[in-house]
A = this chain, B = another copy of it.
Amino acid sequence: MSLDKVLAHIDADLDNAIERLMHFLRIPSISTDPKFNGDCDRAADWLVADLASLGFDASKRPTPGHPMVIGHRQDAGPHVLFYGHYDVQPVDPLELWDKPPFEPALEDTPNGKVIRGRGAADDKGQLMTFVEACRAFIAVNGSLPARVSLFFEGEEESGSPSLVPFMQQNADELRADVALICDTGMFGHDTPAIVTMLRGLLREEIEITGPDKDLHSGMFGGLARNPVHVLAGIIADLHDDSGRVTIEDFYDGAPELPDEIHAQWRDLNFDHSAFLGAVGLSVPAGERNRTPLEMLWSRPTCEVNGIIGGYTGDGFKTVLPSKARAKISFRLVGQQDPDAIHRKFVEFVNASLPEDCSVKFLQSDGSPASQMQISHPAFQQAREALSAEWPKPAAYVGCGGSIPIAGYFKEILDMDALLIGFGRDDDQIHSPNEKYDLESFHKGIRSWARILAALN
């Protein structure tokens, strides 16, 4: 079978693959700092040249910001669109790096060899796992087992301002059967993961006004309404004793986890004590009778992100404040509707308001959760391919945060996305001394080769 030959080629060619990645990593393509505009352009050029050498119809496509890189080959098979980004995070504080961030090197560590340097994991190393898999197929077979399009962005670390317009303007060109995204991590050391649920987000900011000016708490305290008390009451009432959010109809559209996923997650043996212990906590704080992974991945939440009111400087000032303000966000799952929840939140707050207090809803924006259609055959095919490569079977996992690109593929191109990545928790992305395990890189390339062979 030709896959074995391809995998053998990957193993044999690994040193060259590392060399190519090192070259790519030496380009300081920091997208957020205009000083590096030329380097971003150089990174795009480097990619175009490399793709062209693999027979891709590759081009650098201008945007108001950094260019996109697009490549197409017209091999037979299902059409897949692979996404990655060639820009990297800034490197400061530079003094915390043990080596210059753009002089990447292979390093021996107690946990094995790593590729050290800015962008090694996020996302140049991950991006190249897919390119190297393609290279191996072409070297061995002269073609790819699927019709592959590549889509590389250069603004992911600076807010992706050009991404949505570009996708809208080039929808027909970009649309494929399924999207592949390599910008996430493994679950633990040995378990590859496919992210199939991304929580949505509804953000609200409210300001409660009681008296029309700050009052003297001696002269008015006891008779005049304190808006901090009102706001604290609203926040306290947002959850019941079982940890459930009390806003009416909040859980409409929040699905129960399928038994199969439940079983998978149980098998992951998530160590919530270690997870919480790493941030100084120990007790799961979410809904009663939910597993920690449900709390993180598949259950909606309500969190106060910020609160302020009255005098907050040094010492004391015994004011009875006029105003109190909070930013409150909801993580959404399944089919929960941000607009409907916004309306119910407004009702909830208004119902908690004494008649002589007022509320302003200062900001509100929302986006629904992304739930991949895992019935799409690519999911099961990819899962089996990953399971063949790694010590433990691949898991469908959730992601508590949002990865906007996954939503855009769905929304703009009506494609499901397979979020598969080989990053590890200790990769220090966005921080000094970023690294990518050589195992992540090597087995990542092999994983994509297996997935490409499995898709049909």
A contact residues vs B (CB 8 Å cutoff): 199, 201, 203, 205, 209-213, 215-226, 228-229, 231-233, 235-237, 239, 272, 275-276, 279-287, 292, 295-296, 299-301, 303-312, 315-321, 324-327, 329, 331, 354-356, 363, 399-402
Chain B residue numbers with a CB within 8 Å of A225 are: 281, 283, 285
- Given contacts A276-B223, A284-B223, whether A218 and B400 have CB atoms under 8 Å apart is yes
Specify which of A218, A219, A286 lies most central, judged by the most chain B CB atoms within 10 Å of its CB. Answer: A218
Q: Out of B215, B275, B320, name the residue touching A223 (CB < 8 Å).
A: B275
| Contact (Cβ within 8 A) A280 B222 | no
Contact of A296 among B222, B286, B326, B329 (CB under 8 A): B222
Query: 10 pairs across A/B with beta carbons < 8 Å?
Result: A211-B280, A217-B303, A226-B304, A228-B306, A228-B307, A229-B303, A304-B321, A305-B310, A306-B312, A307-B310
With the chains together, A126 CA to B282 CA distance in Å?
62
Beyond A283-B354, A283-B355, whether A303 also contacts B211 by CB under 8 A is: no
CB distance B217 to A279 under 8 Å? Answer: no
**What 10 new A-B contacts, CB under 8 Å, besides A221-B400, A308-B308?**
A201-B218, A222-B295, A223-B272, A223-B284, A223-B292, A232-B232, A235-B236, A306-B317, A307-B309, A307-B324
A211, B277: Cα distance in complex, Å = 9
Residues of chain B with a CB closer than 8 A to A301's CB: 217, 221-222
Q: Are B356 and A283 in contact (CB under 8 A)?
A: yes
A57 to chain B, nearest CB (A): 37
Chain copies in complex: 2
Question: What is the CB-to-nearest-CB distance from A290 to chain B, in angstroms, rounded to a whole number?
Answer: 8
Compute how far the CA of A232 lies from the CA of B328 in the bound complex, rounded to whole angstroms. Answer: 13
Q: Is the CB of B281 within 8 A of A305?
A: no
Closest to A280 in B: B212
CA distance in complex: A279, B286 (Å)? 40
Beta-carbon nearest neighbor of A314 in chain B: B363
With a CB–CB cut-off of 8 A, which chain B residues contact A279? 211-213, 215, 220, 224
Partner of A281, one of B224, B283, B304: B224
A218 to chain B: which residues have CB within 8 Å? Answer: 199, 201, 331, 399-402
> Quick one: closest B residue to A291, CB to CB?
B223
**Which of chain B's residues have a CB closer than 8 A to the CB of A400?**
216, 218-222
Chain B residues contacting A229 (CB-CB under 8 Å) are: 235-236, 239, 303-304
